[in-house]
Structure 1
Amino acid sequence: MTQLIEKYAGNVPRYTSYPTAPHYHAGIGNNEYIRWLGDLNETDRLSLYLHIPYCDRLCWFCACHTKQTRQYAPVRAYLAALEAEIRTVGRHVSRSAKVTAIHLGGGSPTLLEADDVIQLHRTLAQNFDFADEVEISVEMDPNDMDASRYDALAAIGMSRASLGVQDFDPRVQQTINRIQTFEQTKSVVDEVRLRGVRSVNCDIVYGLPHQTMDSLVRTVEHIVSLAPDRIALFGYAHVPWMKKHQTMIDDSTLPDAAMRFELMTVASRMLVDTGYLAIGIDHFALPGDSLAIAANNGHLKRNFQGYTDDEATTIIGLGASSIGSFRQGYIQNIPATGQYEKKVLSGELAAVRGIEVDDTDRMRRWVIERIMCDFSFSFRELGHEFGIGASTILAECQALCTDDQLISIKGDRFEIAPEARPFARSIAAKFDAYLASGAGRHSMAV
């Protein structure tokens, strides 16, 4: 196993998009965005991602676009801009395209006051057409929650609650500036279920500073006792060159690649042994959960929220730094909140960069997604989707199989051996035509 870790545990993208974000460029902006929005029609199903880039505390481990605020005034000003963007985007989208999913992410969306949660949902409903059933998922910080916020989230129809836990060990929490007790977490799970939320997701992170096998095992045991429908087991992404607050974490307190792999392996085994099904490289779900069903029937997808069963054909990103995904490519908003607010309050869209994809990009995106989701793909399906261009991928697969015994072609399928599945990111990277350009630095693959 040591040789596997040395071979595969390099720094590679997480492949929540392809091409990945470091390759977006300023040549794609508002003009392309308006055209792509205008091309949406009755065949399209939309997923809306709303980014709330504020927290009332800054966790040192976090790699999200967010900032700390102890005052609500900046949040209120940002919401005014976000609603302006929603109205502008809505004017460019045909009402025949139905919204099937809404995701509130951050930052900490739950720091929004109850009335603002309801108003934000009202603005969305006024500017987009919702399908009969809309999946609404919200990332929740237990430290934000009170009765009015629970009731507001229930009022807008929240159907999935997502709670970041990381590790319950006090020393780990102190080091990453994320104090959150098991009792707080349990209270959130109980309250949302009491209000009819049908799905709860919990995030666990391995590879944190001062994390030990014992602390992670205790955390997994606590989480399993809550019986969440889904659990994500993420490797800590230490990227201080991108996120300066991560310099607050002493590199010497982080586990090495071998220890990270052991932490991941033990936690994964515990989850499977308690009845969860392994989904992709880092998700777990109860057998009756829609994510497990999607994985079993070959409909699992991967996007900016990780693994998903969302059938939407388009993601529209709303808010500072948000990324949208279209048939034609990807578009990202201005990351800086001040510049974003100025732009959208003037009635404009806030796209600042992106990338347009061609048929070769779409083919490689399909291959990478199937590797990340299924650890295999069918050459017959590849050829059906992309025609003669698929021969290029076949040749690359044959070359890879010659060099690596853990990758094989069996009949119609390219397959990764079970022992190499934790390294799917590194294997998917073999099909990334952009990676060699050197744009961007990435986190460790395990």
Structure 2
Amino acid sequence: MKADLAACYGQEQLPRYTSYPTSPHFSDAVGSDGYARWLKAIPQHATASLYLHVPFCSSMSWSSGCRTTVANREEPIAVYEAALRCEVEFIARQLDRRMKVNHIHFGGGTPTIIAPESFTDLIGAIRRSFFVLPSAEIAVEIDPRTLTSPMIAALALGGVNRASLGVQSFDPVVHYAIKRVQSFDETAAAADNLRRAGISDLNFDLIYGLPHQTIASCLDTVRRCLELRPQRFAVFGYAHVPTFKKHQRNIEESWLPDGAERYNQACAIANALKESGYVQIGLDHFTLPTDDMATALREGRLHRNFQGYTTDDGAVLLGFGAGAVGQLPQGYVQNENQIDAYSDAIASGKLATAKGYALTEDDKLRAEIIERIMCDFSVDLGAVCARHGSRADAMLDSAPRLKELVSDGVVKLDGTSLQVAENSCLLVRSVAAAFDAHLDQSKRFHNRAI
């Protein structure tokens, strides 16, 4: 890619498109009553995915972008876990059946901050309330620095079969700049112990664009991670949004690499992983060729939701916990963000829904176009529009930004077939944004494209 294109498009503030429309467009026009109706309307044969948000961690990294709270006592975590169990049981009663579940994801924060016995109780409540399929993927996000042997035993007992380990960087200069020190040995021990317990599918999360980070330190982190050979890598750009994340104000902007350096770091990591045999999945994931996600990519079955790229093709994602987002055929819902407000709603026997978004037919059409671009780097606009009873020429007319992308060589357009140029894959969010009818209203909420 030309450096000037990376500089031009890479500086745009754009969504990650884990949903469309994106969360800044959610409003209280959709509340608990609307969510209850949507739950009742879920078809009997539908299968669900579950997301459980645990907004606690043992310490706060200055670079964190998560909705999380530092917890120094066990009591608030135990109270919150009890609220999660109640919400799981309450939603199941709304459904009036044990709905089949094929994906469960525990996110945060640090979900493994829950006491092992409480985690076992929570998994038990899920299995009583839903029919978790034997083939279900059960994934949990883990901070390797705080993972204990009793917690690993609880994860294995609960049927967890995938773990995402936060790595970010092994550069000590970066560690001290973001107030998060994590050694390679801690990470290796966590990976080894999880595998010994039978949790063999491991994901590593890396970040570029951190304070004082360099291409050399990025590549050193990759080299050391490759010694542990995880099944998947997720590689994200650091999002510096001190307006919304006050703890990020501890990071001086002068410590951050500029746009060109961020781009070069992202390319260096991607090239190193591909040279080591990993397959690039969309914008920011890399997997071994035998991984289910690589198979889904080859077969055109890759999808994208609030957890990023996924093999999950279901239309129902139920979110549990403070700030958790759910997705149903009718639209999106989001729980109360504040832990107290969320817990109070659940304690009073109510849905904790604070806001949401009801999809229009145009939203559904654009959502499919954007998802295919983000997943496949291409889309047959004619085929997608036809499925939605629309015309490709009308969609192209409504995407004036596309002309500039074609002119700059970022996109190739052959009739109604769109392809992101091979050397412009890191600009895929810019291509997706060309079809975002809501973008101008939400740019200030997003991080730059690269």
TM-score (normalizing by structure 1): 0.97
Pairwise CA distance, 1:411 = 4.8
Runs of 4+ residues deviating >4 angstroms: 396-399
Match of 2:430 among 409, 426, 430: 426
Q: Any idea what the Cα deviations from partners look like across 1:201-238, whole Å, max 9, x if unmatched?
A: 00110000011122111100011111100001110011
Q: Would the aligned equivalents of 1:40 and 1:97 in 2 still touch at CA under 8 Å? A: no
- Among residues 131, 134, 152, which one is paired with 1:132 in the alignment? 134
Measured in 2, the distance between the counterparts of 1:200 and 1:387 equals 41
Residue aligned with 2:351, SS: coil
Is contact 1:42-1:98 (8 Å) kept?
A: no
Aligned to 2:217: 215
Distance 1:325 1:384 in 2: 24
Task: For 1:336 and 1:92, locate their aligned partners in 2 and report how far apart those are by CA, in whole Å.
Answer: 23
- Indicate whether 1:311 and 2:313 are aligned: yes
CA-CA distance at 1:78 after TM superposition: 0.8
Take 2:63 and 2:73, find their aligned partners in 1: how far apart are those partners?
Answer: 23
Cα deviation for residue 71 of structure 1 reads 0.7
- Asked if residue 415 in structure 1 is aligned to residue 419 in structure 2, the reply is yes
Q: Distance in 2 between matches of 1:296 and 1:421?
A: 17
Q: Residue in 2 aligned with 1:3?
A: 4
Q: Could you say what secondary structure the match of 1:284 adopts?
A: strand
Deviation readout 1:396-416 (Å, 9 max, x if unpaired): 468724644332222551111
User: What SS does structure 2 have at the residue aligned with 1:387?
Assistant: coil
Q: How does 1:37-436 map to 2 (within 5 A)?
A: 37-95=39-97, 97-396=99-398, 400-401=402-403, 403-436=407-440
Q: Residues of 2 paired with 1:377 and 1:85: CA distance?
A: 39
Q: Is the 8 A contact 1:110 1:145 kept in 2?
A: yes
1:105/1:399 CA distance change after superposition, 3 Å: closer
Deviations 1:316-363 (A, max 9, x none): 100000000111110000000011111101100000011000110000
Structure 2 CA distance, aligned partners of 1:238 and 1:392? 37
User: What stretches of structure 2 of length at least 5 have no aligned partner?
Assistant: none
My pick for the range that moved more, 392-401 or 158-167, is 392-401
Counterpart CA distance in 2 for 1:439 and 1:332 is 20
Does the residue aligned with 2:323 lie in a helix, a strand or coil? coil
Does the Cα contact within 8 Å between 1:397 and 1:414 map onto a contact in 2? no
**What SS does the corresponding residue of 1:116 show, helix, strand or coil?**
helix
Deviation (angstroms), 1:196: 1.4
Deviation readout 1:269-323 (Å, 9 max, x if unpaired): 0000000011101110000000111111111111111111112221110000000
| More divergent stretch after superposition (405-414 vs 73-82) | 405-414
Matching residue of 1:24: 26
After TM superposition, give the deviation of residue 145 of structure 1 in Å: 1.4
In the alignment, the residues of structure 2 paired with residue 335 and residue 396 of structure 1 have an alpha-carbon distance, to the nearest angstrom, of 35
Which segment is superposed worse, 411-420 or 74-83?
411-420
State the distance in 2 between where 1:52 and 1:167 align.
23
User: Could you say what secondary structure the match of 1:431 adopts?
Assistant: coil
Aligned partners of 2:311, 2:335: CA distance in 1, in Å? 25
Whether the 8 Å contact between 2:401 and 2:434 is mirrored in structure 1 is no
The percent identity for this pair of structures is 39
The unaligned stretches of length 5 or more in structure 1 are none
CA shift for structure 1 position 437? 2.1
